[in-house]
Structure 1
């Protein structure tokens, strides 16, 4: 992909890189495309392209979404490594909150008319429970933190889908692209009045430099998250699948798929292990089995479903679990077997049973670890009585499943951030040009994108496009071929792409060349026109893999 380095970089992209955004060769190429097109389109379309440039330079935007009470905010805190997102129902849980890197910790309340108000974090380090403003006037919150985890990924906490608060659901749906606000005509629907308010206020938000040039459709095209971490609990419901279908990266033309979406089965410790055959009472084994079943239900909308215990992860990762907690658990672990077994039967029994550990202390342990975490901690302390508080915290973190979630985030999102952002930007550019209503302008943008995609270095974008088409069902293919397309496009290493872990380089190269030939034949003789477009991309992917294996 060295050829992309010669493309012109936009100033916004360069600035974004300095602020922590990861600007790769594909994003740089798309930025060059935006810069060249800005002088060839209307002022309003050019303003939309300027916003695309800004987004290209920013870190990957990952929305954490799911049903109400699925534990989204708890998981957000664990991922950030700091307890900042409120987990109790309140004003803030009704709002979309974007957690991003900043040099000074602060909160910005962004109002619907574009105005902003800066607030400090609460004394406990969290977003204040009471913002001191009319929440109905608030668009969303921007939380800036010095945490290194946010340098390359902006984490977006969303209100729960299925909430009784219709306004909170609407905010989430807008972020996930479900509202379809970009399809309304000027002045129609709920967006017209809001847009008028913004115009009267001069739009003093993030895009104040764009004045009145950036229209509502253009805003919608670049407002959404680029990837989603979807949180489910024990049962996948119809609205979970509906939300994933509705999710768009930058516009409604890009749907959730194995490239930009993974799911987690949260609260894995609440699964009744006896209800899952073959798990022999092992809660984590039962959660793993259930996660695999949910993956079958949600695929190909998500790359994977992983079990996690967000509460334990948050307590262990954010410093909420203290040395005093470790000392209290050490006392509990010293109780005789019968007493401990009875106490761990239920939360009520754990707090009410008579023992030397005060009931209030035991209640605090439940709030931080729940019964499963307490059970794991006492097991570890009985096996190794001299275990330090730090070692116990690490043991609890290991049992939470957070490490596997982070590793998958790195594999699916971080390693592909350049491709995901570039593909989302191209979709935004297309949507903005389409909204202009100028056929000549639309054709000019289309032709420029086709020229970019014709370059060999842009094959990754073609592969992402093919994955999206297949995962969404837009291109109908036999299931065995669907699985192959998803495998080749969704994995980071060659053996996994070829479905041959442990294979020798020679065997892998032979197989890659064989499959390249098969897909080329299928594209030419056995496929429909839509299938043929996908098949040509897969053929090229196999051929590039073969070349890579031959060169090393």
Structure 2
């Protein structure tokens, strides 16, 4: 609200072009948090989007729609809008199966992106942006991604914004980055390049998390310490990837997008459950042999038709089939609904959603406000008027000096440390990232599960330490960060002591 008020107050003191940009910033502040799902080609981004939304709406097969950026947002009427590069739009209905039509019936070269509106409760608090794969050989797909996330036309249809202004106000405010077990050395650079397009901001652990998708494809024996357990291997590999992508992301979580999509979007049916019950009745030796590979699973002679097994495999893969059969054998009377919940648990989607809630949803207002300030600053610099730039700069400094702006200052400090703009000793940088990246008090203090008196004492001790560091021994840049961290600890201490 304070940033929106700042834009409103400054509108009459800047040029019409800058004022138009401020109006777009205000519109974005009032809208849900925009989360872009990014990653390399064939990493399973669209499948994960479907799982998060709870509907198989994003195309997952290779086709013209997978080469386009698609924004999924809440609407009172389900529809798809094709937005062309000239700003015009064409409304299309969803396909009969509820998904975006495989063929749009338009010249894709003239399409900027798609806007999909869904009467979906999930989207009331978060707009999900599905993007073409980074590293794609299709230059046009990459260009569309950059155009929407870095230079999108404003959704108001206004012609008052030039390209530079659009650059300043466009882009996702948070990133869900999808990786697979074959992480390449330049994934960190790819993530940086992606987030650099979002209003020239650097991503940090406050607005970026990653998921290790297709966790079921990991060969557990190749991961030391897994004991042959696939899910444990996935967790260990995710931890390793988290250290590689640090400090770009808050965390890396394992997930099986295919199972999550099937369980959440209605793809898993009672008929599928019946087939799994039939498979559970097979002899152990037969079933174990069938589960060695997909080819054997679909070609082995048994009472379940090969075509039925193939469709089941397309929904659950071998790992999901095994988990479901194990659940049935443990509880033969298990219902289709309970079996769906078992599969959902096995997919890891709940952990991803919880992390999204902690990292994104709980801090949505702060993330959006920080992004808005970056946009306001960029708009003022793009004006070419030194006086205008100074007025905006002074107004922002006054805003940040207010006690209620602490969350903004903490996000700013976090970004400065995460991006390396402010050089801090490694242990102190780790502490800044921990305090600024978590919503849970125990996690913020590095003492998960500790009693409140211990948390309060530690918060007060660290508040005093950072205040001393800010005054004695810190560089000017470090001191600015240290003062923010000191106040963060002091506010945590106050919060813990509240009855």
Do residues 84 (structure 1) and 31 (structure 2) align? no
Counterpart residue number, 1:139: 112
Give, in whole Å, the separation in 2 of the partners of 1:377 and 1:509.
45
Contact 1:250–1:428 (8 Å) recurs in 2: no
Give, in whole Å, the separation in 2 of the partners of 1:258 and 1:252.
17
Q: Which runs of 5+ in 1 are unaligned?
A: 1-27, 183-202
Contact 1:247–1:255 (8 Å) recurs in 2: no
Counterpart residue number, 2:33: 60
Deviates more, 1:487-496 or 1:88-97: 487-496
Counterpart residue number, 1:206: 155
Paired residues for 1:363-402 under 5 Å? 363-402=310-349
* Structure 1 residue 175, shift from structure 2 partner: 4.4
Do residues 285 (structure 1) and 232 (structure 2) align? yes
Counterpart residue number, 2:470: 523
Aligned length: 499
Do residues 350 (structure 1) and 323 (structure 2) align? no
Give, in whole Å, the separation in 1 of the partners of 2:54 and 2:452.
40
Counterpart residue number, 2:3: 30
Counterpart residue number, 1:124: 97
1:270 to 204, 217, 223: 217
Counterpart residue number, 2:245: 298
* Structure 1 residue 250, shift from structure 2 partner: 7.8
* Structure 1 residue 509, shift from structure 2 partner: 2.0
Contact 1:309–1:401 (8 Å) recurs in 2: yes
Do residues 438 (structure 1) and 385 (structure 2) align? yes
Deviates more, 1:147-156 or 1:167-176: 167-176
Counterpart residue number, 2:87: 114
Do residues 255 (structure 1) and 202 (structure 2) align? yes
Give, in whole Å, the separation in 1 of the partners of 2:222 and 2:198.
41
Residue aligned with 2:141, SS: helix
Measured on the aligned residues, the alpha-carbon RMSD in Å equals 1.4
Residue aligned with 1:230, SS: strand
Give, in whole Å, the separation in 2 of the partners of 1:224 and 1:472.
19
Residue aligned with 2:29, SS: helix
Contact 2:112–2:147 (8 Å) recurs in 1: no
Give per-residue Cα distances to partners, 1:307-354, cap 9 Å, x unaligned.
Answer: 000000000000011111111111111110111011000101001000
Counterpart residue number, 1:46: 19
Residue aligned with 1:39, SS: helix
Distance 1:501 1:544, change over 3 A: same
Give, in whole Å, the separation in 2 of the partners of 1:321 and 1:130.
26
Residue aligned with 1:83, SS: coil
Give per-residue Cα distances to partners, 1:481-526, cap 9 Å, x unaligned.
Answer: 0110011111112222111223333322222221111111111121
* Structure 1 residue 207, shift from structure 2 partner: 2.3
Counterpart residue number, 1:172: 145
Contact 1:519–1:536 (8 Å) recurs in 2: yes
Residue aligned with 1:87, SS: coil
Q: Which runs of 5+ in 2 are unaligned?
A: none
Residue aligned with 1:238, SS: coil
Do residues 416 (structure 1) and 363 (structure 2) align? yes
Give, in whole Å, the separation in 2 of the partners of 1:372 and 1:441.
60
Contact 1:306–1:405 (8 Å) recurs in 2: yes
Give, in whole Å, the separation in 2 of the partners of 1:229 and 1:242.
15
Contact 1:249–1:424 (8 Å) recurs in 2: no
Contact 2:212–2:252 (8 Å) recurs in 1: yes
